[in-house]
Amino acid sequence: MADSPIRVAVLISGSGTNLQALIDAQQRGELPVTIAVVVSNRPGVLGLNRAQNAGIPTQVIDHREFNSRTAFDKAMMIAIDQYQPDLLVLAGFMRILTPEFVGHYTGRMMNIHPSLLPNYPGLHTHRRALEAGDAYHGVTVHFVTEQLDGGPPIVQARVPVLPDDTEEALAERVLEQEHVIYPLAVRWFAEGRLHLEGDRSKLDGELLPPQGHLIDATG
């Protein structure tokens, strides 16, 4: 059990609403973490302003300034490790990571992906769920492994797909749940209750089901 708040590095590429949900939960006293740094691969994004407004150090590592993925990831690791994080939280971070990077943070890096994994890894998840005529859609927080959007799920929230849904309306319904389940997963980790064990997530000493803990937001 962690006695003092764990140190978290949050990686972003954009608007940072998930980052904001973590900041808000932390400021409400619901998240025993110190957000030690926010790192963005894009300069000028709104997420960086959110961090600065909360007094959190920021780093911009612009991937366009590197001529290989390996060099970019190496620079990221050096920048991140200065802050000695216990956990890396990918919150809308839109770069594919090298095996070296993933291996360096195995068991202490999570991602949020807007689909009910293993459905729809990759991009345009809301459109794909609509086109498939799915009755349900949702979001997954998972540990990061080398497989893109394929690491062991920790928690999923399921939402309904409504008649006449647009991609935007569905995305908004999912995003609302993202802001619930990401702080929850980070809290479990911070409380020492959540671990990666092999290719499964373990909560309070029990292996979680393959899709993770399910929150049903369809009612």
- Could you give the CA distance from residue 173 to residue 168 in angstroms, rounded to a whole number? 9
Closer to ligand GRF by Cβ: residue 6 or 89: 89
- Could you give the CA distance from residue 87 to residue 10 in angstroms, rounded to a whole number? 9
Residue nearest to ligand GRF (CB): 92
Contact 191, 30 (CB under 8 A): no
Give the range of 16-24, 143-151, 153-161, 196-204 binding ligand GRF by CB under 6 A: 16-24
Q: Hunting for tokens 């000695």 — which residue is that? A: 84
Binding string to ligand GRF for residues 134 to 163, with x set by CB under 6 A, is what?
A: ------------------------------
Nearest distance from C-beta of residue 191 to ligand GRF, angstroms: 23
How many angstroms separate the first and last alpha carbons of the chain? 35
Residues 56-115 that bind ligand GRF (CB under 6 A): 91-92, 112-114
Give the range of 7-15, 34-42, 64-72, 186-194 binding ligand GRF by CB under 6 A: 7-15
- Could you give the CA distance from residue 101 to residue 107 in angstroms, rounded to a whole number? 12
Q: What share of the chain is helix, strand, coil (3-state, %, to 5)?
A: 35, 25, 40
Q: Which of 113, 126, 137, 213 is catalytic?
A: 113
* By CB under 6 A, residue 26 contacts ligand GRF: no
Q: What are phi and psi of 48, to 5 degrees?
A: -65, -40
Nearest distance from C-beta of residue 30 to ligand GRF, angstroms: 18
**Peptide linkage before 118 cis (omega within 30 of 0):** yes
- Could you give the CA distance from residue 170 to residue 138 in angstroms, rounded to a whole number? 9
Give the range of 13-21, 54-62, 80-88, 160-168 binding ligand GRF by CB under 6 A: 13-21
Structural element, H or E, at residue 60: strand 58-60
Closer to ligand GRF by Cβ: residue 175 or 214: 175
User: In the complex, which residues of this chain contact ligand GRF (CB under 6 A)?
Assistant: 12, 14-18, 47, 91-92, 112-114, 175, 178
